[in-house]
A and B are shown apart, each in its own frame.
Chain A
Amino acid sequence: MRNDQIEAMSEKQILQEILEVLVCIDKKIDYMVSKNTTIPETRRMYRNEMLSSGLDVMTLLSLPEHLRTTVKVLFEKGSATAEDISKITRKERAVESGYLNQLVRMGYVNKYRRGRKVYFSITDDK
């Protein structure tokens, strides 16, 4: 459904639309559980590939705005500390540190220590 179609709907209509989608998902899950369906091999491979990949531009676009800003700066700098990034984004160092660690957990960013400082860089899949 397009954004302009959603904007033209009332709150009740949107909730009704969401409810219908949830009911549909619920039915599909019930069906898969009853049939003991497993994920096809090709799809599993694709999912593993997604998880092991570096950060591509389409994934970058799908990130929430705060993480996208952090990643964009990290792309430009190559590797950086949370403090380096906070100077550019003008956010608190602790805030950027939180975002970077979230990106590390998501598998998009590497974290390493050089001397007393902790550096971050985009995960390299080479």
Chain B
Amino acid sequence: MGVTVAVHSSKGGTGKTCIATNIAALLSYKGYNVCLLDMDLKGPSLSALFNLYPKRWFNDYLDDKCDIENIFIDLSPQLKTKGRFIIGSSNPDIVAVRKIFDVNRNWQAKALKLLLDAKKSIFMNGTDILILDTGAGIEFESVNAIAVADLVLSVIIPNKISYFSTEQIVKGVYMMLEKKCYLIENMSSVYNLSENKEILGIPVIVSIPCICDILSNDCTNPVSLTNPNHIFTQSIKKICSTIEEYMYDK
């Protein structure tokens, strides 16, 4: 079985989606079959980011309206990656987003089981790495993603609020679910690619500096593919190496 990676953060706006898409793109460029799944049902991003309008959304799968295979769009031909790069999007329509706020605990319990089934099916169909782009904080959808992940990458930004809320989630969720986790410091004042560093007792893979051209990039073509020498791409490579090391140790 392949490896499932959840990209999470305690607060919104830390760059989860940007990091998750670039990790997924670079790993598929290296030849891995990668599946990127938008688990932020209350604030979906991937369909807008890649201009995707699938016939079926991840929401349809969770509502038992289709199989998980029906939601994916293959971006490998467009991005010219060696490995397969498929994306499952959540529905960004406001009616669909509002509906998620109305679901009860029974629905969430069922969603967790369906997510486990989806994971099995995705790996049976040849995926090596499943990347879950989660919503921020402690929501049912994001904690479901963490529960099914093998590895959690928690994105923090260097300020007191982010550190404090991350500490709460490390203790109250990651450790409780016995997850292997790493931190990615984004929008940092320093660029730290090689020095071993720990925050809150968790290893930091990389400190990515605040880079304005990343924010303005439309991401339809991820920077990690279009600009291999960029500082951001170097940071993404370091994160990918950590995932690969985890895969081989597993």
Q: Which residues of A contact B (CB under 8 A)?
A: 49-50, 52-61, 68-69, 72, 75-76, 78, 122, 124-126
Contacts and interface: CB of A to CB of B under 8 A. Distances in A.
Contacts of A50: 105
A55 B173 CA distance: 16
Contacts of B172: 61
Contacts of B105: 49-50, 53, 56, 58-59
Given A61-B172, A75-B116, A126 B143 contact: no
Interface in B168-204: 172-173, 176-178
Size category of the B interface is 10 to 19
Given A54-B113, A57-B143, A125 B108 contact: no
A86 to B, nearest CB: 17
A79 B143 CA distance: 22
B75 interface: no
Nearest to A60: B147
Most buried by B among A54, A57, A78, A125: A57
15 contacts: A50-B105, A52-B106, A53-B104, A54-B109, A54-B113, A56-B108, A57-B147, A60-B177, A61-B177, A68-B176, A69-B178, A72-B147, A72-B177, A124-B110, A125-B110
A28 B104 CA distance: 29
Helix, strand, loop or mixed for chain A's interface?
helix
Contacts of A56: 105-106, 108-109, 112, 140
B215 to A, nearest CB: 32
B144 interface: yes
A78 B119 CA distance: 13
A55 B144 CA distance: 12
Given A49-B104, A56-B140, A126 B176 contact: no
A82 B147 CA distance: 22
Contacts of B113: 54, 75, 122, 124
Nearest to B171: A3
Given A58-B143, A60-B147, A53 B109 contact: yes
A126 to B, nearest CB: 7
Contacts of B104: 49, 53
B140 A76 contact: no
Contacts of B112: 55-57, 75
A9 B108 CA distance: 38
A70 B112 CA distance: 16
A52 to B, nearest CB: 7
